[in-house]
Structure 1
Amino acid sequence: MNKITILWVDDEIDLLKPHILFLKGKNYDCITCPSGQEALEILADNKVDIVFLDENMPGISGLETLSEIKLMDSSIPVVMITKNEEESIMEDAIGSKIADYLIKPVNPNQILLSLKKNLDHSRLVSEKTTSNYQQEFRKIAMDLSMVNNFEEWAQLYKKLIYWELQLEEIEDSGMFEILESQKVEANAQFGKFVDKHYADWFDGHDGPVMSHTLFKNWIAPELKKTPTLLIVVDNLRYDQWFAFEETVTNFYKKIKETSYYSILPTATQYARNAIFSGLTPLGMEKRHPEWWKNDTDEGGKNLFEDKFLGAQIERLGLDIKWEYHKISSLKQGKHLSQNFKSQKDNDLTAIVYNFVDMLSHSKTEMEVIKELASNDKAYRSLTQSWFKNSPLLEIIQQAQQMGMKLIITTDHGTINVKHPSKVIGDKETSLNLRYKTGRSLTFDDKDVLAARDPKSIHLPSINMSSSYIFAKNDLFFAYPNNYNHYVSYYRNTYQHGGVSLEEMIIPFVVLDPK
């Protein structure tokens, strides 16, 4: 490892010899000079790692020297050292992007701490993160063998996301591969858990809040308190929420953050219709056959969410003024943003925002999106970039100014599919890659959660002998015909409809305006 070189600029540099000797004893190289002008000359001819700069010097002042240094090389960290504790001096220095600010007299340990903080920070964070994850790895492995209820699965999934985000920052590929293997193992165990317990969750005992109970249990109680903006971002995974959470909390403070479970199939026509109707798919088919469409029916499958919502509000006896908006394009988003003040008298403004869903479909269909969202890290980054520049953020800012409560949630998540699983069905079989419904389905039992009696999990049957299968883990269904082309086209794309932590355990966040 190369020695770190420090340039220390101070008109009383001779008085700092003890500090210089201390740093040399710690294996740092130290170049010294008494003026800003000499410092700039040294920097023109020498590569240094950090500059300690006295604020009050004759000739070129410390702040002037700082500006010149930043013009020469903006990446060099500069630590300002001064006797002056005036707030204006500090603000000027901080505004000029100093790395640290020390007040004289400084002691050697302060100097050492500043060096560690500014030069060794990445390495120290990396080592600490790696060490902490190595300890946590064993705990997660133990938890995986003991998790036996839906709350513990949600906690474990969020823990895995936390470590994914931590390890992503330090770019330790070895640790990241270990985490990825834990995620695969977790999804395998989660698939078994859902297979065993899912049907029992519908009897109202010991089950999580799910798509069809979300509005009644968690949204409706909020509406009695203050005007509320409900945003359902289609296809939003937990890690994507974390990617733009910080932006939202510039304007709102979190009151509640929890997770609920999407119903199966984890697909928009089932899960999102269930949120707005407050009914299972089987319940929707029975109660509102004019609005419900099965997979094989012609036409859009989510055309009546406003009707479903109105019927649920009436059924719950809520005396509220409400509006529903679906945003599927930039033009629609801008139009709502420009006219959002018209929502000020509503008790509930519900917005479905479709960008993330469009992004996942675009990744399948467009090579450029495949490049931009080649993995989960890139997928999160793209979501964050979209959000920061979207009409949705403008809408949230306006809602904050209008004093509206904010609820952010989604209908289901999505998973990056890696491995194919062969399936055979007739011409009436549904087309989704993560679930299939139809007659005479042939499939690999170990790859799927199978519902041979759809009514047992509150799903409608397209005909008397229909069944459903849901892909587990990171599998996607592929037909034997043209198999290799099909697999190559869909591998490493984001899909939904099946059984995974990413698709089923999804965020529900309540926030109050700051």
Structure 2
Amino acid sequence: MNTIKILWVDDEIDLLKPHILFLEKKNYNVTTLQSGLEAIELIAEENFDIIFLDENMPGISGLETLTEIKAKKPNIPVVMITKSEEEYIMEEAIGSKIADYLIKPVNPNQILLSLKKNLDHSRLISEKTTSNYQQEFRKIAMDLSMINSIDEWVDIYKKLVFWELELENIEDAGMREILESQKSEANNQFFKFISKNYGDWFHEDDAPVMSHQLFKSKVVPQLESKTPTLMVVIDNLRYDQWKTIEGTIGNYYKPVTEESYCSILPTATQYARNAIFSGLMPSEMEKLYPQYWKNDTEEGGKNLHEVDFLREQIRRLGLNIKWEYHKISSLRAGKKLADNFKNQKDNDLCVIVYNFVDMLSHAKTEMEVVKELASNDKAYRSLTTSWFKNSPLLEIIQQAQQLGFKLIITTDHGTINVKNPSKVIGDKETSLNLRYKTGRSLTFEDKEVLAFKDPKHVFLPTITMSSSFIFAKEDYFFAYPNNYNHYVSYYRNTYQHGGISLEEMIIPFVVLEPK
């Protein structure tokens, strides 16, 4: 480890000998000077890790010296030391971006604390974070072996996301790899849990809230307060992405509840989002509203009738509310709604579907530049945050706060970075999605999928008498044997949805009120 080099500038430096000896015993290298001019000359020739600077010196003052130092070496942390507690001196020093401020007489421990705060801060945080995760790792590993409810899975997933966000900026790459392996094991166990329980949830009273129940059970109760409500469905927004934009929204809104619900299978827009707005499972939509529903094999857009589904659900629920629905799929459409959002002030409910994150995941598959920008989950979160901070959606949320709207943030499903190909064979009528397939006579790797040979059992459409559905586990994606290597290299490390993973199925549902 390199010795830390300190420059200490004080016209009474001889009186500070005990402090300097104390630091040298701690293996710090201390250079001393008695004037600001000497300091300005020396830092032009030599590098230091930190500077202690007396404010009250004859000739050029500490504040003037500070200005010159920052002009030459803006990134050197400077600790101002002074006898004076006058407010204007503190304000000027802070305005000049000092790293710390100490009042004379200082004791050696104050100096040491200041050094650790400024030089060891990131290392100490890294060590503390790593140590805490190591303790939590063992607890999560034990919990994984005993989970038997969706609520426990929600808790585990939130813990894993918490540690993923905590560890993403530390220097210990090995610890991040351990977390990745723990997430992988969690998804393996989650797949077994879903395989065992999913089919029963449609016949149990204590099943989790799912996509088709979300509006009735979570949104309608929020409308009872008669406060105007803005419901934003950001397509493809995972829980970790929500946590990265939460702080920005927190400038305007404070959380009332942060809950989760469970996406239906397939975790794909055509199924999950239509289920939210219709209040029905896919086979029920197909039966009751054949004019609005399209199966995978049919031509045409699969999400063109969300507003119609929502209208029918509001009618079935007997809600006497004034509402509007908006789908935003372009910057122009987002700006147009932001420019006219004040027109929503008399509505009880404004629903916005915002498609950016979905477009981002598709662009990552198709565009090399986005593949680089979103090469992993950390980068994917960063790109989402950057978009959000500069988006018309944030403008809309700001306006909603000013108009007194309650805010609901949610999504239809998440997405996962796929790594492992799973071979599948089907006829030309087989659906195209990489994380689920529906079709006749599908051949697949049993250990890598959950198969429903009778789709009616889980309220999915039966396109032909022999149709079945299969869903990919963990980070697998389906690939055909034809042109296999090209296909695999093209889709590996892209974000996909439709299958079974914590990221795709455990969905944030957040209610906030204006600050």
Query: TM-score if structure 1 supplies the norm length?
Result: 0.97
Q: Distance in 2 between matches of 1:260 and 1:85?
A: 55
Where structure 2 has 5 or more consecutive residues not aligned to the other structure, the ranges are: none
Q: Distance in 2 between matches of 1:176 and 1:131?
A: 13
Q: Alpha-carbon deviation of 1:299? A: 0.9
Structure 1 stretch displaced more, 79-88 or 242-251:
79-88
Instruction: Provide the secondary structure at the position in 1 that maps to 2:89.
Output: helix
Q: Name the structure 2 match of 1:499.
A: 500
2:384 is the counterpart of 1:403 = no
Once the two structures are superposed, the pairs formed by residues 49-448 of structure 1 within 5 Å of their partners are 49-225=49-225, 226-448=227-449
Write the letter of the residue equivalent to 2:139: K
> Cα RMSD between the aligned structures?
1.3
Q: Distance in 2 between matches of 1:158 and 1:511?
A: 19
Structure 1 stretch displaced more, 414-423 or 73-82:
73-82
Q: Distance in 2 between matches of 1:90 and 1:302?
A: 60
Q: Alpha-carbon deviation of 1:204? A: 4.4
Q: Alpha-carbon deviation of 1:255? A: 1.4
Q: 1:207 to 1:118 in 2, by over 3 A?
A: same
Write the letter of the residue equivalent to 1:180: E
Cα distance per residue 1:401-460 (max 9 Å; x no partner): 222111111100000100111111111110000000111111111110111111111111
Q: Distance in 1 between matches of 2:87 and 2:442?
A: 73
Q: Distance in 2 between matches of 1:307 and 1:438?
A: 28
Q: Distance in 1 between matches of 2:203 and 2:101?
A: 62
Instruction: Provide the secondary structure at the position in 1 that maps to 2:236.
Output: coil
Structure 1 stretch displaced more, 30-39 or 53-62:
53-62
Where structure 1 has 5 or more consecutive residues not aligned to the other structure, the ranges are: none
Q: Distance in 2 between matches of 1:98 and 1:350?
A: 47
Q: Distance in 1 between matches of 2:313 and 2:404?
A: 26
Query: TM-score if structure 2 supplies the norm length?
Result: 0.97
2:53 is the counterpart of 1:48 = no
Q: Name the structure 1 match of 2:482.
A: 481
Structure 1 stretch displaced more, 81-90 or 96-105:
81-90
Q: Distance in 2 between matches of 1:274 and 1:56?
A: 70
Instruction: Provide the secondary structure at the position in 1 that maps to 2:5.
Output: strand
Write the letter of the residue equivalent to 1:95: G
Q: Alpha-carbon deviation of 1:307? A: 1.2
Write the letter of the residue equivalent to 1:238: Y
Q: Percent identity?
A: 77
Q: 1:81 to 1:317 in 2, by over 3 A?
A: farther
Q: 1:64 to 1:319 in 2, by over 3 A?
A: farther
Q: Distance in 1 between matches of 2:89 and 2:351?
A: 49
Q: Name the structure 1 match of 2:38.
A: 38
Q: Distance in 2 between matches of 1:60 and 1:294?
A: 79
Q: Name the structure 2 match of 1:3.
A: 3
Once the two structures are superposed, the pairs formed by residues 458-469 of structure 1 within 5 Å of their partners are 458-469=459-470
Write the letter of the residue equivalent to 1:381: S
Write the letter of the residue equivalent to 1:310: R
Write the letter of the residue equivalent to 1:270: Y
Q: 1:317 to 1:204 in 2, by over 3 A?
A: farther
Q: Distance in 1 between matches of 2:342 and 2:93?
A: 41
Q: Distance in 1 between matches of 2:195 and 2:464?
A: 23
Q: Distance in 2 between matches of 1:97 and 1:309?
A: 54
Instruction: Provide the secondary structure at the position in 2 that maps to 1:169.
Output: coil
Structure 1 stretch displaced more, 466-475 or 12-21:
12-21
Cα distance per residue 1:446-484 (max 9 Å; x no partner): 110111111111111112211100000100001111111
Q: Distance in 2 between matches of 1:333 and 1:143?
A: 43
Instruction: Provide the secondary structure at the position in 2 that maps to 1:232.
Output: strand
Instruction: Provide the secondary structure at the position in 1 that maps to 2:74.
Output: coil
Q: Alpha-carbon deviation of 1:236? A: 0.7
Q: Distance in 2 between matches of 1:450 and 1:254?
A: 39
Write the letter of the residue equivalent to 1:331: R
Q: Alpha-carbon deviation of 1:369? A: 0.8
Q: Name the structure 1 match of 2:16.
A: 16
Structure 1 stretch displaced more, 168-177 or 149-158:
168-177
